[in-house]
Amino acid sequence: MNKQRRNTLKSASGLGVLGLFVAAGLIKPEMAMAVEDKKAFDAKSMTEAYGAIGSGTPVASKEITINAPDIAENGAVVPVSVISRLGKTQQIYILIEKNPSMLAAAFTFLEGSEPEVTTRVKMGQTSNLHAMVKADGKYFFATKEVKVTMGGCGG
């Protein structure tokens, strides 16, 4: 009797794991839609990055706010937040002009999420930070220079 109970428990927990796998599988299709951006992370120039994202040359916009320090003492941890006031903002990209890997991060906002994001990036040297926003199918950008006193990509 006891053994049977044990078996039941076992199979129940087995089902739980299966459920998790199914849940994990469900996440997949959504992730697939962003994969085309992957090449952008290897881009070595801004033009290349724009090309890989498929944005063309974005238009400067005052509706994008970048909050980042004017001077970053430690380039390994530079807090950056980007806020977009453009209607129908779909994506926010953070690019660092003089980093070996320019595209730091790309965020996709799904229904209900506000077009603002805060994260921390590395900066090898003083550089312009670019925030590119995809809104209603069009691309816009804003820049801000951050002076770095100590690089964050040191070797």
Partner 1 sequence: MADPMKIRATAKDGMTEVKILMSHEMETGQRKDAAGAVIPAWYITEVTAQHNGKTVLQAEFGTSVSKNPYLSFKFKGGAKGDKILVSWVDTKDDKRSDEATIA
Contacts to partner 1 by CB under 8 A:
23, 27, 30-31, 34, 37-38, 41, 76-79, 96, 99-114, 116-123, 152-155
The residue behind tokens 């994969």 is 35
Q: Which is nearer to partner 1, 6 or 77 (CB)?
A: 77
Q: Which is nearer to partner 1, 138 or 151 (CB)?
A: 151
Q: Which is nearer to partner 1, 104 or 135 (CB)?
A: 104
Query: Taking the complex as a whole, how short is the minimal distance between the CB of residue 111 and partner 1, in angstroms?
Result: 8
Q: Which is nearer to partner 1, 71 or 153 (CB)?
A: 153
CB 107 within 8 A of CB 114: no
Q: Which is nearer to partner 1, 1 or 33 (CB)?
A: 33
What is the SS3 assignment for 82? strand
In degrees, rounded to 5, the angle at the alpha carbon of residue 136 between the alpha carbons of residues 82 and 89 is 25
Query: Taking the complex as a whole, how short is the minimal distance between the CB of residue 62 and partner 1, in angstroms?
Result: 22
CB 97 within 8 A of CB 80: no
Distances (CA, A) of 53 to 44, 120, 139: 13, 22, 10
Query: Taking the complex as a whole, how short is the minimal distance between the CB of residue 56 and partner 1, in angstroms?
Result: 20
What is the SS3 assignment for 122? coil
Query: Taking the complex as a whole, how short is the minimal distance between the CB of residue 85 and partner 1, in angstroms?
Result: 14
Query: Taking the complex as a whole, how short is the minimal distance between the CB of residue 121 and partner 1, in angstroms?
Result: 5
φ, ψ dihedrals at 21, nearest 5°: -60, -40
